[in-house]
Amino acid sequence: MTRSGFFGNPERPLFGWLHPVAGSPSTGVVLCPPLGQEALYTHRSMQAAAMALAACGLPCLRLDAAGTGNAADGPEDPEHGAVPAWQASLEQAVEQLCRTTGVTRVVLMAVRGATLLAAPVAARHPQVLALVGLAPVLSGRTMLREWRALAATAALREEHGDGALEVAGVFHSAATLRALGSLSVPDLAWPVDKPVWLLDRDDLPAAARWAEQLQAQGVQVAARRCQGLSAMLLEPHRQRVPQAALDELAEALQAWAATLPAREQPAAPERPRGPGVGEWLGWAEVAPGVREQVWCVDGPGGPLYGVLSEPAPPCQPQAMLLLPNTGAIHHVGNHRLYVQMARALAAQGCRVVRMDLSGLGESPARPGEASDVVYGRHALEDVAAVVQAARAQWPTQRISMLGLCAGGYHALRSAVQGLQLDQVIVVNPLVYHWHEGLTLDAHAPRVQEAYYRARWRSISGWKRLLTGRSDLRQLLRVMAGGLWRRLKQMPAAMLRLSRRSGAVDDLNADLLAVSKQGVRMHFVFSEDEPGWPALQAQGGRALKALQARGALTVSHVPRADHTFTTALARQRLLARAAALMSPGR
């Protein structure tokens, strides 16, 4: 059974998921996810890789390195930025795997840009006997070119005059960029006795030259192109796990490990260790005055995992916030938004749980159900189980729920269904009703339509259109498609009206029902969000009436996109969440 938690030096704890195996294995794997936003996108594939390795008898530790995922943040090196801390994280993960499973030999498996960090560690660490590069990036300069190109395409971006860069919502200091840019895996002096596996992308291969170089030096190399690796880098609700390639790799590593001699490998050289190294930490101090631990609830369809943040003693929190998944992103949230929010609110005195619903993140799918279903049909049952567990453990606390996009939908529907919530904070919902059979792709035209209709009504939208910054042809296509849909839907709409079935999908009635239960509602929208005009159109008279009474509020975050990609946009959202969670609310 998977073990998850904090480990390493308590002054700056790391986080990991351990996939153990039965027996007394001698070889294990530390899995290093890619850098930046790609770590979120590949989460399901990394989980599948760890499970495949464990099934082949190789215990695996999936790592959140310093300042990533659930791991604690901390100061950077003035000259080399985050790179030394990231590489030290790999070394601590090797020690953690060895001490908790008894293995004496470790394989470092790195994905994409993490290969730049893992290769130097693998080359010098005596307990690391092999390296695996999955869709590897072998040049820091190549990585930086990709990041700068990606940053240049962002619709909203903040300029950093000191040379720092924000890429897909992840900030990288100038020192980190310089250190990464100086890394080149082919320039390493590679030990001839350490095998290398290179699984390259079939569309953008990058490892052939280094494989030839290693073979010329007498290094055992297995290099090939694999189909499907690029698909694991797509957005989580679209990505596909390259299961066949991962299974084949796990079997190859198992066969190689079986050929190794039984003798013990030399121990790692002694070096100063912080207290707790090699142990799993119960509570971990992840920020000044803030502690965290893994929190698990017995859900109706299986365990539901999350991370609990709270102020360190002696502070006693009086309010609690639940953060359900944003789409198919696991509990850290887009751009680590939920991690930042949980720790900021815990420092303010709140107790916060960032949770994975069944089939998302670390919570297994129910038997017979698919994983990564954004609007899962059992989501409300999962939320109810979490709320019930929280009420049982902290019966006097006010419980709020904040969700972004699909998480906002789940927050609102939870209140409509009468769950014991005190307030809901609904951020950038795309829909207010969802029925089985609908898909995100099918809903995309309606989202575009609402977006352009909002633009049409605003002065800024006309300015963008007249200055050529909006696509006129796309606007006309979207609006024409909306008109055609409405013409086709008129007979069905008239039939529904004649049958007096207007209560179905009635947001006006939903808002009134939530208000009658005494649950406060707060809607937060970024600029030009389609959910705002949809709320105005579907909310009916209830929207204005509840706003007038103060039972419902609507606020807007300027210069923010749908997932709050820029750091400044996230700060504005955090400030709004902090105000709504303050003791006086």
Residue where the block lists tokens 């720092």: 164
Tell whether the torsion through CA atoms of 87, 92, 27 and 293 is positive or negative: negative
CB 284 within 8 A of CB 292: yes
What pLDDT, on a 0 to 100 scale, did the predictor assign at position 504?
A: 52
What pLDDT, on a 0 to 100 scale, did the predictor assign at position 490?
A: 43
Tokens of 353: 């749980």
What average pLDDT does this structure show over 167-196?
96
Residue 513 has pLDDT above 70, yes or no: yes
CATH number of 284-433+505-580: 3.40.50.1100, 3.40.50.920, 3.90.1280.10, 3.40.50.1820?
A: 3.40.50.1820
Residue 493 has pLDDT above 50, yes or no: no
Strands 290-299 and 302-311: antiparallel
Share above pLDDT 90 across residues of the chain, in percent, rounded to a whole number:
77
Chain-centre distance for alpha carbon 447: 23
Q: 309 forms bridges with which residues in the sheet? A: 292, 352
Architecture (CATH level 2) of domain 11-258? 3-Layer(aba) Sandwich (3.40)
What pLDDT, on a 0 to 100 scale, did the predictor assign at position 583?
A: 74
User: Model confidence over 392-409: pLDDT tens digits?
Assistant: 999 999 999 999 999 999
What pLDDT, on a 0 to 100 scale, did the predictor assign at position 16?
A: 97
In this prediction, residue 215 has a pLDDT band, given cuts at 50, 70 and 90, of: very high
Residue where the block lists tokens 């751009």: 335
User: Model confidence over 433-464: pLDDT tens digits?
Assistant: 988 767 665 555 554 554 455 455 555 555 55
Share above pLDDT 70 across residues of the chain, in percent, rounded to a whole number:
85
The CA–CA distances, whole Å, from 57 to 24, 93, 109 equal: 9, 19, 16
Q: Measured between alpha carbons, how far is 122 from 94 in angstroms, rounded to an integer?
A: 10
Write out the DSSP string of 379-435: HHHHHHHHHHHHHHHSTT-EEEEEEETHHHHHHHHHHHTT-S-SEEEEES-S-S---
Mean pLDDT of the chain: 88
Q: Hey, where are the domains in the chain?
A: 11-258, 284-433+505-580, 440-504
CB 94 within 8 A of CB 128: yes
Three-class DSSP category at 319 = strand
Residue 484 has pLDDT above 50, yes or no: no
What average pLDDT does this structure show over 499-526?
84
Lowest mean pLDDT among 79-83, 227-231, 398-402, 556-560: 227-231
Tokens of 348: 């303010």
Residue 482 has pLDDT above 80, yes or no: no
Residue where the block lists tokens 């969802």: 434
What pLDDT, on a 0 to 100 scale, did the predictor assign at position 445?
A: 53
What pLDDT, on a 0 to 100 scale, did the predictor assign at position 270?
A: 46
In this prediction, residue 53 has a pLDDT band, given cuts at 50, 70 and 90, of: very high
Could you check whether 11-258 and 284-433+505-580 share the same CATH topology? Answer: yes
What pLDDT, on a 0 to 100 scale, did the predictor assign at position 228?
A: 85
What pLDDT, on a 0 to 100 scale, did the predictor assign at position 435?
A: 80
What pLDDT, on a 0 to 100 scale, did the predictor assign at position 503?
A: 41
What pLDDT, on a 0 to 100 scale, did the predictor assign at position 60?
A: 98
The CA–CA distances, whole Å, from 102 to 63, 105, 356 equal: 18, 9, 30
What pLDDT, on a 0 to 100 scale, did the predictor assign at position 2?
A: 80
The CA–CA distances, whole Å, from 103 to 89, 250, 269, 272 equal: 18, 17, 16, 21
What average pLDDT does this structure show over 542-559?
96
What average pLDDT does this structure show over 129-151?
96
Burial annotation 516-525 (CB, 10 A radius, 16+ → b, else e): eeebbbbbbb
What pLDDT, on a 0 to 100 scale, did the predictor assign at position 161?
A: 76
What pLDDT, on a 0 to 100 scale, did the predictor assign at position 481?
A: 54
